[in-house]
Amino acid sequence: MTGLLINNLNLTLGGTQILKDVSAAVNPGEMVGMIGPNGAGKSCFLKSVLGLNKPSSGRVTLKGQDLATMSLKERARWLAYAAQGAPLHWPLTVERLVALGRIPHLGPWQNLQPEDHGAIERALTITDCLHLKERTATTLSGGERARVLLARTLASGAAYILADEPVASLDPFHQLQVMDILKAHATAGGAVLVVLHDLGLAARTCDRLILLHEGQVIDQGPPAQILSDKNLSCFFGVSVSRWQENGESFLAPHAIHNGQSHL
Amino acid sequence: MNNILSYSLFILALIAAGLISLSFGRVSLGGADIWAGLTAPADDPISMILFELRLPRVILGMLVGATLGLAGAALQGVLRNPLADPGIIGVSASAALGAVIAIHLGLAATWAFSVPLFAMSGALLATLILLLVTTRDSSVLMLILVGIGISSLATALISLVMNLSANPMTIRDMVMWMLGSLENRTMNDLWMAGPFILIGWAMMIGTGQGLNALSVGEEVAQTMGINLKWLKLRIIIGAALSVGAAVSICGAIGFIGLVVPHIVRALISREPGAILIPSALMGALLLTFADILTRLPVAGSPLRLGVVTALVGAPCFLYIIFHTRREMR
């Protein structure tokens, strides 16, 4: 009853069943990765948990309370969303953009309070964006922008962060930086559910993985179990090379054509 | 810029613009005349000019300008489109259609209130259609497309009415009405349009937080606790009521709603929620000045308000776009 529990979620969009009886749990202190080939329903799953998609059946509970019974703002104080390639429609300064994260804590007419400024400052510090504070967010580089948007998510103070491919289109250094920030959030007692395409990154950073395929949970458990040769060839169509270095395990995929690996 | 400072500057500028507007006209009034007129008994000629002719004009001008500025800022925010203006939802054209019909039927000559009343009805009808569509599908694209559809239909019907008008004087009346004016407006116009304008403002003015959240897209805004559907409804109904009422009083005034949010963004803040009230104040200020310009003696015939706002607004718009193009991508 402690964490975020998802029970038998079914989602149908435009006549197509996207999610079939998906159940999962995310507990405080955990970094859970969601993997699966394109079109498996990973993003739709995150959106269903967040209430952006209306599931046809199933329940999402937080600490035992049904999310559907919470007010929008209350829900927003618990769950924060880092969207994939989130747009930015106005040239706000970085500080004001990160300050948007505090909206769930403010009344309709309320200005930022001292504790809000504290949370914004902390989020900027954690994401190494303090020096960007005065910059216009639309002029940032891809890596800076990803960090700033993550800072917006962290500033909300929400314990549960749902991130949809937060490292897409980032260079390796910034990928690792973003994953480190998310990992630190989980280590500090928060919880992270992150959709990832990079299986190597998923293996190294997540405590647990959920493998989704055609809207169904195939398997969930520790990375070593989920990223088995069988799962990878069955559901991703790849074979992998694995190696260990400094106590970390790495893997690199190869494509399989007609049962044979090339490359 | 500091909030209190900028609001004080706005208020001072508005008072100054109001006083200048009160003193301008066929009879020029100095500061002493205005003071004397304000304190004199009701049958005093200066007092009559002030209260019967000029004051309604100043107040209506400020209300209409504030409405256009506020609605422009709110619509640009909710549609996340810097090119949106109050005309985009089709309410202005529908109000104009109502007015043109009233003029065509000859009602304007017999009953002065028929024009604003018909215009208001046109605006409300357009609002109803907008609501029917947007409660089912409230995507930005749908809103803009339906708005353009309503606008085109109303414009087509205006052309039809003009086409059917046998009397060239009637057509002239229609064209003049559509060019916009605050001339010869009375307190009765104010009592008729005022309530709709105020309800519209009340609905739009509290949407700042939601509009700020929308800067990062609809989905993320919803996960920040913003009720998107409610936000859109408030702005659409608010803009439709207040803009419809404004157009019914003084005709379609272009460019204020489009340009004012850009000026405020350049001067005060680029946050869509923070520019709502400043845009209202700036709109009131600009429209008051535009109305003063219409009273300058140019080429014999008085200028129409919509002509002045477009003539001043369009170059301003180009200038601002040129200077902010990099940030707007």
- Domains defined for chain B, CATH in brackets: 3-324 (1.10.3470.10)
Better pLDDT: B50 or B105: B105
Least confident of B55-64, B132-141, B269-278: B132-141
Distance CA B189, CA B245 (A): 10
With beta carbons under 8 A apart, name residues in chain B contacting A76.
223-225
The Cα diameter of chain A in Å comes to: 63
Average pLDDT, chain B: 87
Question: Is the ipTM reported for this complex over the cut 0.85?
Answer: yes
With beta carbons under 8 A apart, name residues in chain B contacting A136.
327
For residue range B60-84, list pLDDT tens digits in order. 999 999 999 999 999 999 988 888 8
B81 SS3 class: coil
- At A258 the pLDDT is 57
Mean pLDDT computed over B167-184:
87
Q: Are strands A191-195 and A31-35 parallel, antiparallel or unpaired?
A: parallel
Give the total number of structural domains in chain A.
2
Classify residue B129 by burial, with Cβ atoms within 10 Å: 0-12, 13-18, 19+.
middle
End-to-end, the C-alpha distance of chain B in Å comes to: 24
- At A263 the pLDDT is 46
- Asked if A11 and A123 sit in the same domain, the reply is yes
- Asked if A123 and A36 sit in the same domain, the reply is yes
- Asked if A97 and A131 sit in the same domain, the reply is yes
- Asked if A130 and A251 sit in the same domain, the reply is no
- At A262 the pLDDT is 46
Classify residue A107 by burial, with Cβ atoms within 10 Å: 0-12, 13-18, 19+.
exposed
**Containing structural domain, residue A73:** 4-227
Q: Which of A48, A79, A100, A109 to mutate to probe the B interface, most B CBs <10 Å? A: A100
Instruction: Residue A253: count other Cβ atoms within 10 Å of its Cβ.
Output: 18
B10-47: string of b/e by CB count within 10 Å (b at 16+)? beebbeebbeebbbbeeeebeeebbeebeebeeeeebb
pTM (predicted TM-score): 0.89
- At A85 the pLDDT is 78
Residue B248's pLDDT band, with cuts at 50, 70 and 90, is confident
Q: Which of A49, A71, A73, A90 to mutate to probe the B interface, most B CBs <10 Å? A: A90
With beta carbons under 8 A apart, name residues in chain A contacting B320.
none
- Asked if A73 and A185 sit in the same domain, the reply is yes
- Asked if A31 and A87 sit in the same domain, the reply is yes
Mean pLDDT computed over B100-104:
91
Q: What is the CA radius of gyration of chain B?
A: 20
- Asked if A140 and A43 sit in the same domain, the reply is yes
- At B100 the pLDDT is 92
Ranges of residues in chain A with a pLDDT under 50 are 261-263
Q: Which of B209, B219, B224, B227 to mutate to probe the A interface, most A CBs <10 Å? A: B224
What does the angle CA A15 – CA A18 – CA A22 come to, to the nearest 5 degrees? 135
Mean pLDDT computed over B33-45:
76
- At B303 the pLDDT is 85
Residue B159's pLDDT band, with cuts at 50, 70 and 90, is very high
- From the list A74, A79, A152, the residue facing B216 with the nearest CB is A152
Mean pLDDT computed over B180-207:
90
- At A257 the pLDDT is 61
Residue B139's pLDDT band, with cuts at 50, 70 and 90, is confident
For residue range A60-117, list pLDDT tens digits in order. 999 989 998 999 999 999 999 998 877 888 999 999 999 999 999 998 888 899 999 9
- Asked if A121 and A240 sit in the same domain, the reply is no
Distance CA B11, CA B212 (A): 25
CATH of the domain at A96: 3.40.50.300
How far off is chain A from B151, nearest CA to CA, in Å? 26
- Asked if A96 and A34 sit in the same domain, the reply is yes
- Asked if A246 and A141 sit in the same domain, the reply is no
Distance CA B59, CA B21 (A): 10
- From the list A87, A104, A136, the residue facing B216 with the nearest CB is A87
% of chain B residues with pLDDT over 90 = 39
- At B127 the pLDDT is 84
- Asked if A235 and A219 sit in the same domain, the reply is no
Classify residue A15 by burial, with Cβ atoms within 10 Å: 0-12, 13-18, 19+.
exposed
- Asked if A183 and A251 sit in the same domain, the reply is no
With beta carbons under 8 A apart, name residues in chain A contacting B217.
83, 86-87, 89
